[in-house]
Chain A
Amino acid sequence: MLERMKGDLMGSIFIFILLMAFWLLISASTHWQHILVGAIFSLILTVFWSNLNISAVNRTNFTILQAFLLIKYFVHLVIEIVIANISVAMIVLNPRLPISPGIVIMRCDLERSLLRVLYVNSITLTPGTITVELEDNLLIVHALTEDVAHGVEDWALNRRLMEMEALYKK
């Protein structure tokens, strides 16, 4: 355990600081006993779970540009979620229930697993679509109305994710 920690000292310190910040937020007290207990527990956690630290081999570069793109993506996602909810509310509260459900089978070109997870979960949360299946690059989407089904592919969030993946490839 200790060798692994020495191998990745910066990562261990980072995780320790993260745990300590969380502890300070939870306890919200500056009494020295609280801080001591928090430090001891953070240290124990860091030492025992040092095998979960990111090793130097499979570390990826995370630039400021990527963080900026991610934040922009999440802001866009929140707006899309609100629009989705309003559209579902309009459909459910309409007495005639104007739905025409169906399945769309299409391609997903993303390769990095994080972006794939983001993409699939955002499809579930955005207007009129939920993901049913994602296998390799086959993506099955259930759409609530037929208009939505035609617009799934040309979708602004998908383009943003493709931009982010293009950054990795450089």
Chain B
Amino acid sequence: MVLHYIAAFFLIGGFFFLIVGVLGLLRLPDVYTRMHALGKCDTLGTGMVLVGLMFLIHDVTNITKLVLIMVMIVTINPVITHLIAKTAYNRGTPMAEGSFLINDYVASQRRRRKRMTESSLSQEGEE
């Protein structure tokens, strides 16, 4: 009986996140922001639904299959999200109005060099 409540929690939570994903697809302005909603909410939503089903099935065989499906979804979903975003970026798909651009490349390189010199100095100090 307790298992049923746990399963219901996971199933309802999963459905909630799937609905949020679809709502995000409808409401958000451009491709990239839509990928935010779909890439994240679908992963957790489907995962939670599968976990909920696992609590209802008392069968090792089927639980193994569900675990396999979950692993595949968790690995494939971000890859496909990344591919869609990459293709859109390389084709020059316009972003929503008011998008910002931060070029942090040079600054992060500089920070990294500083950190490395600091760590080497501290190592010398220890020796």
Contact = CB atoms under 8 A, between A and B. Distances in A.
B105 A130 contact: no
A149 interface: yes
Chain B's interface size range is: 35 or more
A132 interface: yes
A149 B104 CA distance: 10
A100 B96 CA distance: 9
B82 interface: yes
Interface in A54-106: 81-82, 84-85, 88-89, 91-93, 97, 99-106
For A104, A107, A133, A150, the residue with the greatest tally of chain B CB atoms inside 10 Å of its CB is A107
A130 B85 contact: yes
A139 to B, nearest CB: 9
For B20, B79, B90, the residue with the greatest tally of chain A CB atoms inside 10 Å of its CB is B20
A9 to B, nearest CB: 28
Chain A's interface size range is: 35 or more
A103 B101 contact: yes
B23 A93 contact: yes
Interface of A: 22, 25-28, 81-82, 84-85, 88-89, 91-93, 97, 99-107, 109, 120-121, 124-125, 128, 130-133, 138, 140, 142, 144, 146, 149-150, 153
Given A101-B32, A104-B102, A149-B100, 13 more contacts: A81-B40, A81-B44, A84-B40, A85-B45, A88-B20, A88-B24, A89-B16, A89-B17, A91-B24, A103-B99, A105-B103, A125-B78, A128-B36
Interface of B: 16-17, 20, 23-24, 27-30, 32-33, 35-37, 39-41, 43-45, 59-61, 64-65, 75, 78-79, 81-82, 85-86, 89-90, 95-96, 98-105, 108-109, 111-112
